[in-house]
Structure 1
Amino acid sequence: MIDLSNKTVGVIGGKGKTGSQFARLFRKLGADVLVSDLRTRLSNEELISRSDIVVFSVPLHLSEEIIRAQVGNLKSGQIVLDVSSLKTKQVKMMNKGKAEVIGMHPLFGPTKRSFDGLTLILCPGNCRKLTSKGVGEIFKMVGMKVVEMSAEEHDKLMTVVQVVPHLKTILAGELLRHLGIHPDKSREISTPIYRLELDIIGRIFSQEGMLYSSIVAGNPNTKDLLKFLKKTVDSYLKEVETGNVKALDKRFSNVQKFLGKFSQNAFDESEQIINEMQKWMSKK
């Protein structure tokens, strides 16, 4: 494992929610931590010159621009990490510098709770296996589950892990607005599952839209996904217009076969969630 007690970690964007979380974590692990941000005296350039490990923790829609501006300042012997929801372009940009490169994606938001069981994805760029292993061990030490994959594989998986769920939720919100049905009204007659869906809609729209817009627009696979969805929705429309229930049921059966045993496992797991949710609702 990398010994942080004699290392300086510089967090660019370290005043933000995610950046400050990682700054606290590295301090707790014994590193000297430097922070630069919009209103700090310390510049990004000076931070890089004084750091052994550099972390880019900046808004996703600005990440390429900020990395591009600083990549020439990165030095041999340094490790550079970035914290963002997309990896292909970010890792490719960092690879242009002299430092060892690892893209990171924490699959959790800023939290003051324990890191136990939370997942962190590492996407090594130009770096030694020893370095990526050492960085992974740092986060495993605080209880994180570390998963390693290429930047390209990451962004492909994020198509279904992030882009599809976010698009579905945003479109559901748009539909409520279009129909003029406020969630408070539909929640009065909601099933437990629908109430959970409403909570997810509210959860997404309680946060900054630019993050979700950047995840959807920035993923290199989104365009092909939307083309597929458009084609599929057009097919559904034709089947609904002609009342072709058998065709709709055939689609359902095809997916059912593909999912296999996962469906029953997911049903059982979601039943536990619903039971806990009902207990919580009964106390309100």
Structure 2
Amino acid sequence: MTAASGTATVVGGLGAVGSMFVELLRAGGSTVTVVDPAGSDPDGDVVVGDITKPSDRVLAHVESSSVIVLAVPEQVALAALPSLRTSGALVVDTLSVKSRMDAAIADAGREGEFLGLNPMFRPALGPRGRAVIAVPYVDGPQSVRFLDVVRSWGASVAVMDADRHDRLAAATQVLTHASVLAFGVALAELGVSADELLAVAPPPHRTLLALLARVAGGEPEVYWDVQAGNPYAGATRKALFDATAQVDRAAETLGDFTTLMKTADAALDNRSGELNAECQSLFDRIAEGHRE
């Protein structure tokens, strides 16, 4: 499959992630059919059906596709594997956790290529200039070609195995979201209003308030799935809890607090200067927007 040809079936293609793939594949010249139990789309290219209990019509599209995208929850993707056993298509999932799918594919008894993708952004933002993690469960030429298609959309692609993906997702998503939500819960306990905070907030605090608005205003099921589904989520939240306790203890002496700050900075390796400059640029943009 190239960016300008091919036949694809997007299961769950009426959802946010699925519709992004439908739009991008169609824009590249692919013929795309949506399989979704939710109904029809304006183009009329939707087969109403359940991939876990496929009708003959659903199976016909699966059998004739060169790519099948599973833009569905994990339990649906896992249950769909038997329906894909006889297809020669490249199967692509969009799950935020990869290790269970990796194990299930190994036990599925199906020959063919499987590729896991995790777009590290909200679908509405689009892939251009953003990162996509790729996990080739069963690699081959179809996967290589599809990743070229993803790169043609303007995304950067980081290829890794399932365990490494889940560890990075825990650090970038579980830890981030838990930190922001904990910040919001702590604010609620302090009894200060948003109006009061915004009247005096320095750039770091205003940035955290904006992050809180974005996360807490999102879909609970999406954020819960990140916290509940990743096998490293519990250990990640415990690390956050323990780190908060370390900050509390280090506040007793300047020496301990200085050591703690050095430990935190060491997590950035040699990228501290670059990221500090990026933070300053972000704060400058926030200040300009606030003045407007």
* TM-score in terms of structure 2 length: 0.85
Secondary structure of residue in 2 paired with 1:20: helix
Correspondence for 1:57 among 63, 71, 74 = 71
Q: 1:12 to 1:182 in 2, by over 3 A?
A: farther
- Asked if 1:48 corresponds to 2:62, the answer is yes
**Following superposition of structure 1 onto structure 2, how do residues 8-19 of structure 1 map, counting pairs within 5 Å?**
8-19=7-18
- Asked if 1:107 corresponds to 2:117, the answer is no
Inter-partner Cα distance in structure 2 for 1:205 and 1:236 = 25
Inter-partner Cα distance in structure 2 for 1:208 and 1:166 = 13
Structure 2 unaligned spans of 5+: 40-46
Measured after TM superposition, the shift of residue 5 of structure 1 is 5.8
Inter-partner Cα distance in structure 2 for 1:137 and 1:239 = 49
Question: Which residue type is aligned with residue 210 of structure 1?
Answer: E
Q: 2:257 aligns to what?
A: 248
Contact 1:91 1:102 (8 Å CA) reproduced = no
Inter-partner Cα distance in structure 2 for 1:197 and 1:121 = 26
Correspondence for 1:267 among 252, 257, 276 = 276
Question: Which residue type is aligned with residue 73 of structure 1?
Answer: S
Inter-partner Cα distance in structure 2 for 1:14 and 1:183 = 38
Measured after TM superposition, the shift of residue 73 of structure 1 is 1.2
Inter-partner Cα distance in structure 1 for 2:149 and 2:213 = 35
Which region of structure 1 is more displaced relative to structure 2, 72-81 or 226-235?
226-235
Measured after TM superposition, the shift of residue 228 of structure 1 is 3.2
Contact 1:49 1:73 (8 Å CA) reproduced = no
Q: 1:48 to 1:234 in 2, by over 3 A?
A: same
Q: 1:127 aligns to what?
A: 139
Question: Which residue type is aligned with residue 136 of structure 2?
Answer: P
Measured after TM superposition, the shift of residue 202 of structure 1 is 0.2
Measured after TM superposition, the shift of residue 76 of structure 1 is 4.3
Contact 2:133 2:159 (8 Å CA) reproduced = yes
- Backbone CA RMSD of aligned residues: 2.2
Q: 2:43 aligns to what?
A: none
Q: 1:216 to 1:190 in 2, by over 3 A?
A: same
Inter-partner Cα distance in structure 1 for 2:184 and 2:239 = 21
Q: 1:91 to 1:178 in 2, by over 3 A?
A: same
Q: 1:258 to 1:215 in 2, by over 3 A?
A: closer
Q: 2:42 aligns to what?
A: none
Structure 1 unaligned spans of 5+: none
Inter-partner Cα distance in structure 2 for 1:156 and 1:180 = 36
Secondary structure of residue in 1 paired with 2:182: helix
Question: Which residue type is aligned with residue 8 of structure 1?
Answer: T
Secondary structure of residue in 2 paired with 1:77: coil
Contact 2:171 2:236 (8 Å CA) reproduced = no
Inter-partner Cα distance in structure 1 for 2:257 and 2:31 = 60
- Asked if 1:141 corresponds to 2:152, the answer is yes
Secondary structure of residue in 2 paired with 1:146: strand
Q: 1:137 to 1:6 in 2, by over 3 A?
A: closer
Q: 1:185 aligns to what?
A: 196
